[in-house]
Amino acid sequence: MAGLAATRPTGTAERGVPLAREERLRAAVEAHYDVVFRFLRRMGVAEGVAEDAVQHVLLVFARKLPTVDEGAERSFLLGTALRVAADFRKQRARLREVSHDAAGLREASGETGADEELDRRRARKVLDDLLDQLPADLRSVFVMCDLEELTMAEVAASLGVPPGTVASRLRRARESFGVLAAETRRRLAARREP
């Protein structure tokens, strides 16, 4: 056993020595789990299966870890999450199941008041509905850049497209999202008027 422990890398990123595989994996999970979960939800993965989708992304990451450059973990995870989200959406379409969100089965958390939680759910539902209306190529760039705040270079690396393509898609996505949001605001205002 002592010989096995001696063969494991023990350096840290602060000293410029690569982290041990387990440590690097743990650090990436701790730093990016919430980002991957949010990204998957915003890319149309139902809340009831989002945890499973995150686990799938992390399994791919763990398997490919030696090929992922240090510092590129977030970009790799989101690129993988994009593909996993597409698979989960296809799977959901085949199953035709009603999500917990749509059925209203989720209980309010104890952290906030019921009204605040209801408002937050409604806002999330509106955002999800708006994102669902964007084409997948525009949606992915919009979510990565504007919601997850990745740089265009990180998005280009994640998607395997040139930076100019990212910029073009982001411009079109923002325009489309703005139009959709304005239409939604008008529709909601019309419902409120007596």
Domain boundaries, given as residue ranges, for the chain: 15-101, 110-194
CATH topology agreement for domains 15-101 and 110-194:
no
Q: How far apart are the C-alpha atoms of 74 and 13, rounded to whole Å?
A: 16
Topology of the domain comprising 110-194: Arc Repressor Mutant, subunit A (1.10.10)
* Cα–Cα distance, 169 to 194 (Å, whole number): 40
- Distance, in Å, from the CA atom of 194 to the CA atom of 190, rounded to the nearest integer, reads 8
Residues written for the chain: 194
Kindly report, residue by residue over 37-89, the tens digit of the pLDDT.
Answer: 999 999 988 888 999 999 999 999 999 999 999 888 998 999 999 999 888 87
Domain formed by 15-101, architecture: Orthogonal Bundle (1.10)
- Residue 165 predicted with pLDDT over 90: yes
Contact 20/8 with Cβ under 8 angstroms?
yes
Tokens encoding 15: 């000293």
Q: How far apart are CA 141 and CA 107, in angstroms?
A: 32
User: Looking at the whole model, is its pTM more than 0.85?
Assistant: no
